[in-house]
Chain A
Amino acid sequence: MASKTFSAAMGVILPVLFGVAIVVLWEHQAFHRLLNVKVLQLPLPSRILSVLLENTGKIIPDAVITLRTAVLGLLIGSSIGFLVAIIATFFPRWGYGGLTVLSAFNAIPVVALSPIMNVWFSSPSVAKTAVVSIVCMVAMSVNAFRGLNDLKPFSLDLMKSYASGMGPVFLKLRLPNSVPYIFTGIRINVASAMIGAIVSEYFSSASNGLGFGIRNKLSTGQFPLGWAYIIGASAIGILLYMIVVTFEGLATKHRSN
């Protein structure tokens, strides 16, 4: 009994200690000596923190822009992906092949997508959102398809024995069954959306957003500010993920899987 709480406590204490140790080493320039880097290029944590606090006025609006791109793209892409999965469910033979081909498209690097979208859409924010949407489509379609079709054995037969048509089968069986899978898709997409948003900002002509901030500040030598932006981006990524996980837990509370 005592060992279980000890074990759980260690699960929190040890990583925290490790993290603190890293920060302390960093502050005392251990990594600078190791990697032969100047303090200018790799700012000290204390400096980053102070710059971060000073510049929240600049960082937060940028963060909002990136967040808007990411979330909007996430919603659009996931919806399209979900629709594709539904179509694939109703036309099984051709749909599944379509999904496989779509999966191969997923291997297209986001760095290639971004310039293309920039060329297609004159508005930079639309282009960025488009990139994120495309990135999010595939993961959602694959997961949603699995959710709509990986039914427990005989559950479909049960519905058929009630002489149920395709519509009610969908609404009462497939859709509820797919909820955990959809959340898995959203969880995966949150990370992809953030990456997509930030990377597309690298290539965008627009001079706002966290991605722009990171690249701009670092290339103009404002290293502490650049790192502050990075911390901001990471924090938002973690925050979004936590929100999704919380919702996922609420929505799938009583399920066995």
Chain B
Amino acid sequence: MGKVKSFFKSGRFVSLVWIIGIVLAWEIAAFFIADVFHDRMMNSKLPYLHSIIGTIVGNFALLSMACATTLSRAIIGFAAGALVGFALAIFMSLFRPIEKISYPYLLLSQMVPILGLAPVVISIVHKVQIGSVTIAASDITRVIIAAYITFFPVATNMLSGLKSVDADKLSLMFTYAARKPTVYAKLMLPFSVPYLFSGLKIAAPLAVTASILVDSLGAAGGIGYNMTYSLYTGTYSIFWASVLCSAAMGILGYYAMVLFEQLFMPWKRGSSKKGGR
């Protein structure tokens, strides 16, 4: 009985209620549009949630292929961008000149609408041939843009972490006559892990978005392509199904990072330390 009670009091219960509420609101709104206002454009404006899910189930093969395409490119780009961002942050903290050069550009990058520059990359990239394997231009573009958009938040946050190591911890390492590689390995890198994950959590949905954007701007596959093509041909059911899938992928990417975070940081970042004062 106690367990049930605590469930009702928990934050999870509240979130659950909210989700149920939104689902209900959706269905009711769709109902209004269809049966009350008799909007013939109903299918395009806001179909019933359950019918969207029906479409997904019905076209599962098609949609999952498309999602896999988009997601795989996004993941590769994300990993590449994260790695480069991570490395750059370390180099920036090791060598002041590198930091001085890179810092303004990192700052500028936050102000420039990066996603908006996707067409440029598309216009430059062409397909690559390695032996008998052809890598499509759109694949390369997706990876590049996803990497580019991941790189900036990861580098910025990681650098922030490396710079926030408190002076006492560094002094302690100094008294142990520790050399730089040791200080990084045992102190600065573990310390910065939470900051790294902040960056990754920001970047994950962005990488997915970047991949979808390239799809919709004229790639040969992927969920974004489905979205625009279905709009073009008027098959709104597929359109909405694709929209839902894209949203799901974005949310999935974020929660995947949350999961990784739990794995890498099993100790809970203490909320309140007991005693003392």
Interface residues of A (CB under 8 A from B): 10-11, 14-15, 18-19, 35, 37, 41-42, 93-94, 96-98, 100-101, 104-112, 115-116, 119-120, 190-191, 194-195, 198-199, 202-203, 210-211, 214-215, 218-219, 223, 226-227, 230, 233-234, 237-238, 240-242
Contact = CB atoms under 8 A, between A and B. Distances in A.
Interface residues of B, number: 53
Majority secondary structure of chain B interface residues (helix, strand, loop or mixed): helix
Contact of B247 (A94, A109, A202, A230): A109
B270 interface: no
Contacts of B100: 10-11, 14-15
Nearest to A93: B14
A195 B115 CA distance: 6
A35 B124 contact: yes
Of residues A111, A223, A234, A240, which shows the largest number of chain B Cβ atoms within 10 Å of its Cβ? A111
A22 to B, nearest CB: 10
Nearest to B231: A115
B254 interface: yes
A241 B111 contact: yes
Given A14-B97, A109-B205, A238-B108, A211 B120 contact: no
Contacts, number: 153
B123 A41 contact: yes
B112 interface: yes
Contact of B217 (A11, A195, A202): A202
Given A106-B205, A107-B250, 6 more contacts: A18-B105, A110-B115, A198-B115, A203-B228, A219-B119, A227-B120
* Most A C-beta atoms less than 10 A away, residue of B120, B236, B242: B120
A19 B101 CA distance: 9
B127 to A, nearest CB: 12
B113 A191 contact: yes
Given A14-B97, A202-B217, A195 B44 contact: no
B186 interface: no
A111 B19 contact: no
Contact of A111 (B105, B114, B213, B253): B213
Contact of B250 (A94, A108, A194, A214): A108
B18 interface: yes
B251 interface: yes
